């Protein structure tokens, strides 16, 4: 069972997932706070480089399976043209209504 993007409870996370799934780089960038950071499997990465490779250039897509009560943690099936599909976890920090940091990795 999946949770539709419009049912995600945290507005910044909802905007992040919606922009990622639509493949819209410009909208995605507006979901991020200035100076936003990220990590993948515990290693800090450059957001622009990572999202270019893992999301936009490889048609990344998230199907959310569950969310935490505060909406800041997700478990999702993530797929892209490079790696196929995998079960992933996502944790978000939100400041001023935008994502200040996200951490992802295999669930």
Nearest-10 Cα torsion for 103, 56, 48, 98: -60
Rounded average pLDDT over 81-102 = 97
- 1 pLDDT higher than 90: no
**Rounded to the nearest 5 degrees, what angle is found at the Cα of 23, between the Cα atoms of 22 and 26?**
105
- Rounded to a whole number, what is the largest CA-CA distance in the chain? 34
The answer to whether the CB of 82 falls within 8 A of the CB of 54 is yes
**Per-residue pLDDT at 83:** 93
- pLDDT tens digits, 31-89: 999 999 999 999 999 999 999 999 999 999 999 999 999 999 999 999 999 999 999 99
Rounded average pLDDT over 28-32 = 98
Extract the tokens encoding 71: 């909406």
**Per-residue pLDDT at 100:** 98
Domains and CATH numbers, the chain: 5-106 (3.10.450.50)
Full-model pTM: 0.96
Helical H segments across the chain, by residue range: 11-22, 25-30, 47-51
Extract the tokens encoding 21: 């799934």
**Per-residue pLDDT at 43:** 97
């Amino acid at each position: 069972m999946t949770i539709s993007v419009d049912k995600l409870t945290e507005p910044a996370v909802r905007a992040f997932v919606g922009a990622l799934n639509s493949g819209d780089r410009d909208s995605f960038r507006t979901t991020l706070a200035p100076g936003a950071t990220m990590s993948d499997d515990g290693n800090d990465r450059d957001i622009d480089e990572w999202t270019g490779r893992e999301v936009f250039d490889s048609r990344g897509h998230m199907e959310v399976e569950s969310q935490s009560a505060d909406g800041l943690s997700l478990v999702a099936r993530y797929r892209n043209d490079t790696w196929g599909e995998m079960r992933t976890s996502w944790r978000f920090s939100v400041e001023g209504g935008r994502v200040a940091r996200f951490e992802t990795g295999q669930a």
